[in-house]
Amino acid sequence: EAQVTQNPRYLITVTGKKLTVTCSQNMNHEYMSWYRQDPGLGLRQIYYSMNVEVTDKGDVPEGYKVSRKEKRNFPLILESPSPNQTSLYFCASSLARGRSYEQYFGPGTRLTVT
């Protein structure tokens, strides 16, 4: 089954403790992206990747890192999480550059930073 998986689905952590949210897709998609969703602010893009070893900033990249060493994986790294990073996070992937192809979204990761 074609899908985007995220792990963990739920995470409660403390300020400053490094964490990684994994994202994996099984569709051989070139394009992958991370979003955060907050009440009243909608979906905002954090980082995206056009292909292996190619990443770029979205609208809200501060406090996040990403890497794209393999085509299927696109982990989101929070080196020193803070409470303002408490949010619902979605990973997405699509063929080609994503412009004319549908994006597939993962189920989401709810992160709470205390």
Give the residues lining the site for another protein (CB under 8 A). Answer: 31, 33, 35, 42-45, 48-50, 56, 58-59, 90, 92, 97-100, 102-108
State in angstroms the smallest separation of the CB of 77 from another protein: 19
Of 93, 87, 35, give the one whose Cα is nearest residue 68: 93
Q: For residue 24, give Cα distances in angstroms to 17, 57, 82, 85, 105.
A: 23, 19, 25, 22, 11
Q: For another protein, give the closer residue by CB, 14 or 96.
A: 96
d(CA 23, CA 17): 20
Neighbour count for residue 15 (Cβ, 10 Å): 11
Q: For another protein, give the closer residue by CB, 82 or 94.
A: 94
State in angstroms the smallest separation of the CB of 84 from another protein: 19
Q: For another protein, give the closer residue by CB, 17 or 39.
A: 39
State in angstroms the smallest separation of the CB of 94 from another protein: 9
d(CA 73, CA 20): 12
Q: For another protein, give the closer residue by CB, 35 or 81.
A: 35
